């Protein structure tokens, strides 16, 4: 538990720091280093510019997918975004849910919540709210959301089982989620696995793809599908901080995969 609390604090400090930076100074933390190449940032952070409702001031380049694009949000829906950052996915979701819908962003970074609220106020959105809190203990009522989205956040949550049970709890019967996240196929080396930098950078906290999908199923979700999947590569400049050139070559030949996936699941109307 002590280690989990240390990790949580490291993640919070990292994202509070990012929230205080201008976007042009922000590097995708999933690149895990100041030396990230532009190509890798593009791989990790999909382009939102074609999505209706997109607001550049709310896009800090922190995602690994486009969950709102796959989320099947309808007019009048209540949508919850887990790890809402500066509000990027919330504002896209608001466009889909319309004036009759409601969007709730949840984040445990005080600075992110403050930034998102200022963005919403500037845009004049009175049906978007941001709540400070942890995903494992959502300050949301049972059966409140029609749709839940999240973008590259659950890999940062130490207790993923509890997080998905919370997602199940707050979804209405018949509701669904669309979540973009980082998963693994094969075990990354210990030097990466035990690095706080790699944890706050979305790599070390990622679990095996099969285990991730099993957690989703065990939480009670049905009709689980992978809506999108793409590889993620750690730049060699970063690997040099951890390995010799020979070790880097072995790592690249190991067959270990770091993947960005967008997962969909439904909470059935009637549970057996």
Interval 115-140: pLDDT, tens:
999 999 999 999 999 999 999 999 99
E-only strand ranges, the chain: 78-82, 102-107, 128-132, 145-151, 171-185, 222-232, 257-266
Residue 140 within a domain = yes
Lowest mean pLDDT among 52-56, 182-186, 187-191, 252-256: 52-56
Higher pLDDT residue, 17 or 184?
184
Which secondary-structure segment (H or E) carries 5? helix 2-19
Residue 98 CB contacts under 8 Å (≥ 6 apart), including other chains = 75, 76
**In terms of pTM, does the model score above 0.75?**
yes
pLDDT of 22: 53
β partners of residue 148: 80, 177
How does residue 40 score in pLDDT terms, banded at 50, 70 and 90?
Answer: very low
Compute φ and ψ for 175, nearest 5 degrees: -80, 170
Task: Name the β-bridge partners of 19.
Answer: none
Residue 228: per-residue pLDDT:
96
Range of 22's domain?
2-266
Dihedral sign from CA coordinates of 241, 242, 248, 253: negative
Q: 229-254 pLDDT, tens per residue?
A: 999 988 888 899 899 999 999 999 99
Query: In whole angstroms, what is the distance from residue 63 CA to residue 47 CA?
Result: 10
Q: Are 92 and 73 in contact (CB under 8 A)?
A: no
Domain membership of residue 272 (yes or no) is no
Indicate whether 39 pLDDT > 50. no
Greater pLDDT, 271 or 267: 267
Q: How many domains does the chain have?
A: 1
Alpha-carbon gap, residue 208 to 20, rounded angstroms? 33
Residue 32's pLDDT band (cuts 50, 70, 90) = very low
pLDDT in tens, 91-102: 999 999 999 999
Is residue 271 domain-resident?
Answer: no
Q: What's the CATH code of the domain at 68?
A: 3.40.50.150
Give me the pLDDT at residue 90, please.
Answer: 97
Give percent above pLDDT 70 in the chain: 90
User: What is the per-residue pLDDT for 235?
Assistant: 85
């Amino acid at each position: 538990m002590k280690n989990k609390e240390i990790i949580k604090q490291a993640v919070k400090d990292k994202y509070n720091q990012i929230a205080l930076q201008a976007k042009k100074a922000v590097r995708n933390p999933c690149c895990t280093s100041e030396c990230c190449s532009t190509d890798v940032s593009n791989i990790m952070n999909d382009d939102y510019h074609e999505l209706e409702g997109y607001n550049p001031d709310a896009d800090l380049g922190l995602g690994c997918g486009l969950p709102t694009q796959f989320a099947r949000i309808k007019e009048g829906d209540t949508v919850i975004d887990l790890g809402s950052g500066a509000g990027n996915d919330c504002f896209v979701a608001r466009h889909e849910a319309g004036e009759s819908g409601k969007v709730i962003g949840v984040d445990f970074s005080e600075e992110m919540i403050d930034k998102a609220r200022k963005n919403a106020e500037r845009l004049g959105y009175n049906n978007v709210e941001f709540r400070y809190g942890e995903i494992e203990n959502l300050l949301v009522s049972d059966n409140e959301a029609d749709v839940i989205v999240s973008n590259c956040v659950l890999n940062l949550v130490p207790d993923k089982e509890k997080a998905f049970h919370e997602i199940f709890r707050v979804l209405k019967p018949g509701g669904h989620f669309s979540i973009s996240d980082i998963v693994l196929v094969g075990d990354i080396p210990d030097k990466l696995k035990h690095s706080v930098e790699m944890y706050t950078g979305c790599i070390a906290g990622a679990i095996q793809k099969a285990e991730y999908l099993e957690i989703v199923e065990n939480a009670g979700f049905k009709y689980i599908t992978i809506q999108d999947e793409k590889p993620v590569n750690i730049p060699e400049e970063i690997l040099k901080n951890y390995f010799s050139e020979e070790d880097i070559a072995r790592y690249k030949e190991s067959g270990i995969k770091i993947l960005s996936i967008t997962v969909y699941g439904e909470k059935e109307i009637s549970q057996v």
